[in-house]
Amino acid sequence: MGETNIFLIGFMGAGKSTVARALHALYGKDRIEMDQKIEEQEGKTISRIFQEDGEAYFRRKETEFLLALPTDRGLVVSCGGGVPMREENVKAMRSRGKIVWLHASPETVFERVRHSHTRPLLEGNMNAGYIQKLMEERRPKYEAAADIIAVTDGKTAAEIGKEIMTRLNAPEG
């Protein structure tokens, strides 16, 4: 059997891409940016997909992407923030690896995303209050999906990556 895939879930700005890069640097794990792969497949940005095809179309593309992944390649997949909202996505991830919820405070997320214009759900709502509301709506789904929860506030990507690998490799029980 090969290595377990790791699916990084969490709110935008929680550190999924950064931690995926750290896991690659520290452990040589191949990493996949889900949003980037979907943009390549569709030939347009996530923002344009939302505008031209709608959110439901984009969410279907996320599910198709997960179902096409191999089960035991030891990949690190940085998932879009909304991926765990669909039960079929959680099932696809669970059958293909371990799910790690990177959790950050609304204040941390706001600091990380405040100058970004590539996040369609935040356009026109770039404030900590809105971010907190959206995070609270998603929290139950993130918690239910997660095999491991890693808090990212005040930690380096390398520290988070090492914590994840230590916890994934710890004996169960």
Q: Tens of pLDDT along 69-125? A: 988 789 999 998 889 999 999 999 999 999 999 998 877 877 766 655 555 455 555
Domain annotation covers residue 173? no
Domain annotation covers residue 171? no
Q: Supply the CATH number for residue 107's domain.
A: 3.40.50.300
pTM of the model: 0.89
Range of the domain at 15: 5-165
Q: Which residues contact 60 (CB under 8 A, 6 or more apart)?
A: none
pLDDT value, residue 1: 42
Report the chain's terminal Cα–Cα distance, integer Å: 22
Domain annotation covers residue 11? yes
Tell me the C-alpha to C-alpha distance, in Å, between residue 120 and each of 26, 65, 71, 82, 146.
32, 20, 30, 12, 25
Domain annotation covers residue 170? no
> How many domains would you assign to the chain?
1
Mean of per-residue pLDDT scores for the chain: 87
Overall average pLDDT of the 124-152 stretch:
84
